[in-house]
Amino acid sequence: MRVLVTGAAGHIGQYVLDELLTRDHQITAVDLVPVEDPRVACAHTGDLQDRDLVRKAMDGAEAVVHLGAIPHPVSDDDGALFATNCLTAHRVLDEAGRAGIRRVVAASSLSAIGLAWSPVPQSPRYVPLDEEHPFLVQDPYGLSKIVLEETARATHRRYGTDIACLRFPFTGTGDRLTRQLAAVRDDPAAHRMDLWGWLDTRDAAAAIRRALEADLRGCHVLNVAAPDTSSPLTTAALMQEHHPGVPVLAELDEHTSLFDSTACARLLGYVPRFGWRAGPSSPTGETIPRGAT
């Protein structure tokens, strides 16, 4: 397919380019910074709030991967962060609908639930968290991801565009993941609000490709998380220490993830392939392949 990838120079975007190009998709890339990858068919540099830029980049595309957004809540202007993420989401999804593009995959976040960046400590209403868990959001970043998902639903209703919004936790591989694992090991309490969720970036990219290629109709919001936590402690111990009294709706074996990704497996046929526990021990914490799906 001819695929437009927004945010192509970002952390996930670079892995998405690798994933799609190895499957012979033709890529148009767009980002605020130049995408200097000779493999892409076309690259645009600019702000996704610019309608003319989005329309130009969308020309000839058969599908869209929307990654372009402020990817964290750190800002000295919460309103600007919220407005930027919401406008870019609407600009890309609405223009895709107007152009008659039939498939969009958008990067949402498990922050949409409202725990990860909450300014007030909270606990989930139950675990594992599925896509039906109620919103608890207080921060502008998580709120902007809810708007992204609602924009996707509105786009599907208006234009019939098939859309998958993939909710990711922390994503990392290599040194980035090594640092995260060390931080969780040293201070698990500091990560109680993100429920020790994680996903290898290569798995995020592969899930995006599956969502592009799957026989999927409608608009879907899907959790995509590794099947275990980022902590060496057992999941039951983590919950007992940091979220006591929260209802547990499924058995928490050993290091089971607190995010339910079964809908992703059912609809996309994808289960994350990479894990940091499997295989030979790694003193550096490098990601070790768990095996193919």
> Is the predicted pLDDT of residue 285 greater than 60, yes or no?
no
**What does pTM read for this prediction?**
0.94
> Is the predicted pLDDT of residue 284 greater than 60, yes or no?
no
- DSSP one-letter string for the chain: -EEEEETTTSHHHHHHHHHHHTTT-EEEEEESS----TTSSEEEES-TT-HHHHHHHHTT-SEEEE--S--SS--S-HHHHHHHHHHHHHHHHHHHHHTT--EEEEEEEGGGGS-TT-SS----SSBSB-TTSPP---SHHHHHHHHHHHHHHHHHHHH--EEEEEEE-EEE-HHHHHHHHHHHHH-GGGGTTTTT-EEEHHHHHHHHHHHHHS---SEEEEE---SB-SSSS-HHHHHHHHSTT--B-S---TTB-SB--HHHHHHH-----EESSSSS--TT---EE----
The predicted pLDDT at position 205 comes to 98
Segment 22-49, tens digit of pLDDT: 999 999 999 999 999 999 999 999 999 9
Domains in the chain and their CATH numbers?
2-289 (3.40.50.720)
Q: Once rounded to an integer, what is the mean pLDDT over residues 190-202?
A: 98
The predicted pLDDT at position 146 comes to 98
Q: Once rounded to an integer, what is the mean pLDDT over residues 236-265?
A: 97
Mean of the per-residue pLDDT values for the chain? 94
Q: Once rounded to an integer, what is the mean pLDDT over residues 147-170?
A: 98
